[in-house]
Amino acid sequence: MRLSEYFLPTLKETPAEAQIVSHRLMLRAGMIRQASAGIYSWLPLGFLVLKKIERIVREEQDAAGCQEMLMPTIQPAELWRESGRYDDYGKEMLRIRDRHERDLLFGPTNEELITEIFRASVKSYRALPKLLYHIQWKFRDEVRPRFGVMRGREFLMKDSYSFDIDFESAKRSYNKMFIAYLRTFHRMGLKAIPMQAESGPIGGDMSHEFAILAETGETGVFCHRDLLGFEVPGDDLDYGSDLQPIVDKWTSLYAATDDKHDTAREPELGEALVKARGIEVGHIFYFGAKYSKPMGAFVTGPDGAEVAVEMGSYGIGVSRLVGAIIEASHDEAGIIWPEPVAPFAYGVINLKADDPTCTDVCEKFYRALGSDALYDDRDERAGVKFADMDLVGLPWQIVVGPRGVKNGTVELKSRKTGESEEMSIDSALNRVTG
């Protein structure tokens, strides 16, 4: 993309309404624009990142055997009356009435709708287990939308749902998602720690929130230091194998958010205790027959008896992750994108746009890199170009200036370390396309 043509409305001033760094940087880097409180438009740069995150989430869900589908944003109120949540959900639910006076709502989550879909077609244990997911906009009329996309009212969520015949099988589905989550966040350059979470009416320990550590996090987190160094399962992971040992390892050490934290555990943890702030980026939850029973999602088991299907749900805050990644990775000058989620891998900086040799060299890089490059071909001062490129945070900068070009060299600079290397044009081309 040529910057002279790109729609990138960057801001020089720090927007006064933004309280935290990710919100400030997203506005300054021209990634989002607020439509109304907690509701945002995603501008081209922000949208590229959102799509990259979504793709990683999708790949890891698919790898775990979860099947993608798409449910609507608007749902009928009837289903929520069946589960009893229509009244319970309170003011966070955006309620709508259509021209026929039928009650609808903008979905804050999808347990009811997926249970309805399941009960309409699955009648036997033979069709189980099933893992289904979608990536869809949700609406929750939060009392205090804030921190930009981190606590919005309209936000993009990946939500998966598991269906199993019994607890043992439900546990296997839960373990798959547990591990898919470890891998998903790791691939985005994040250290997400699974924390014991409130498990609701069923009890048990099958509810975990995945939190990344960041000073601006809304939740207090307490965990054993060693968890920060645990290795995440690699590409050779076989989802068909017994995953329990991996889950046991990750849950063997203490990790809790403030609402579950037990201060009595602190002395025994001693020096190993990490007290920090965290951002919840995902939540996995086993809830048994909470919806299947009242909504009549029964299947016949191997013995011919009817049982309410065992369910779990598994959410990832896709749009929240954009902010969370920035909270975890930035400096004074701007964003530092981890490569897997960067909107472009390379920024090509033409220090003298009116110098034909510089322009020739830049065009060469731009042609070779295609959609991996954002090419600053504007007629602007070098200082402005450096500042904008640092703000936007692409992992690599290729700096092309008249002095270097005369000697046949360019600079390749890492946004993260700030280290730059002077290289011949050809070896730089080889490096970035190799």
Interface region with ligand ATP, contact rule CB under 6 A, candidates 25-33, 149-157, 286-294, 347-355: 149-157
Q: Are strands 373-376 and 346-350 parallel, antiparallel or unpaired?
A: parallel
Answer yes or no whether residue 317 interacts with ligand ATP by CB under 6 A: yes
Q: Between 282 and 288, whose beta carbon lies closer to ligand ATP?
A: 282
CA distance 45 to 298: 46
Q: How far is the CB of 164 from ligand ATP (least distance, A)?
A: 20
Q: How far is the CB of 152 from ligand ATP (least distance, A)?
A: 4
Give the DSSP H or E segment for 28: helix 21-28
Interface region with ligand ATP, contact rule CB under 6 A, candidates 10-18, 120-128, 233-241, 279-287: 279-287
CA distance 153 to 3: 32
Give Cβ neighbours of residue 271 (< 8 Å, ≥ 6 apart): 225
Q: Between 116 and 159, whose beta carbon lies closer to Mg ion?
A: 159
| Dihedral-angle region of residue 430 (phi above 0 means left; psi in -120 to 50 means alpha; beta otherwise) | alpha
Answer yes or no whether residue 157 interacts with ligand ATP by CB under 6 A: yes
Answer yes or no whether residue 320 interacts with Mg ion by CB under 5 A: no
194 binds, among ligand ATP, Mg ion, none (CB under 5 to 8 A by kind): none
Answer yes or no whether residue 82 interacts with ligand ATP by CB under 6 A: no
If binding means CB under 5 A, how many residues of this protein chain bind Mg ion? 1
Answer yes or no whether residue 208 interacts with Mg ion by CB under 5 A: no
Q: Between 24 and 138, whose beta carbon lies closer to Mg ion?
A: 138
Answer yes or no whether residue 107 interacts with ligand ATP by CB under 6 A: no
Q: How far is the CB of 281 from ligand ATP (least distance, A)?
A: 5
**8, 45, 270, 315, 407 from 147: Cα distances, Å:** 21, 19, 33, 20, 48
Contacts within 8 Å (CB) and 24+ apart, 412-415: 415/336, 415/337, 415/390
- Bridge partners of 210? 194, 282
Q: Which of 434, 425, 426 is closest to 401 using CA atoms? A: 425
Q: Is the dihedral of CA 49, 413, 391, 366 positive or negative?
A: negative
Please give the biggest Cα pair distance in the chain: 82
Cα 236 from chain centroid?
A: 23
Answer yes or no whether residue 385 interacts with ligand ATP by CB under 6 A: no
Out of 46, 152, 343, 395, the only residue in the binding site for ligand ATP (CB under 6 A) is 152
Q: Mark residues 274-293: x for contact with Mg ion by CB under 5 A, - for none.
A: ---------x----------
Interface region with ligand ATP, contact rule CB under 6 A, candidates 316-324, 335-343, 364-372, 417-425: 316-324
Q: Between 200 and 408, whose beta carbon lies closer to Mg ion?
A: 200
Q: How far is the CB of 32 from ligand ATP (least distance, A)?
A: 13
152 binds, among ligand ATP, Mg ion, none (CB under 5 to 8 A by kind): ligand ATP
Q: Which of 24, 29, 57 is closest to 44 using CA atoms? A: 29
Q: Which of 279, 394, 392 is closest to 328 using CA atoms? A: 279
Cα 196 from chain centroid?
A: 20
155 binds, among ligand ATP, Mg ion, none (CB under 5 to 8 A by kind): ligand ATP
CA distance 93 to 408: 62
Answer yes or no whether residue 386 interacts with ligand ATP by CB under 6 A: no
46 binds, among Mg ion, ligand ATP, none (CB under 5 to 8 A by kind): none
Answer yes or no whether residue 258 interacts with ligand ATP by CB under 6 A: no
Answer yes or no whether residue 315 interacts with ligand ATP by CB under 6 A: yes
- Do residues 164 and 177 make contact, with C-beta atoms less than 8 angstroms apart? no
Q: What is the dihedral of CA 87, 93, 99, 102, to 10 degrees?
A: -30
CA distance 324 to 183: 17
60 binds, among Mg ion, ligand ATP, none (CB under 5 to 8 A by kind): none
- Binding positions for Mg ion, rule: CB under 5 A: 283
**Contacts to ligand ATP by CB under 6 A:** 109, 140, 142, 151-152, 155, 157, 280-283, 315, 317, 319-320
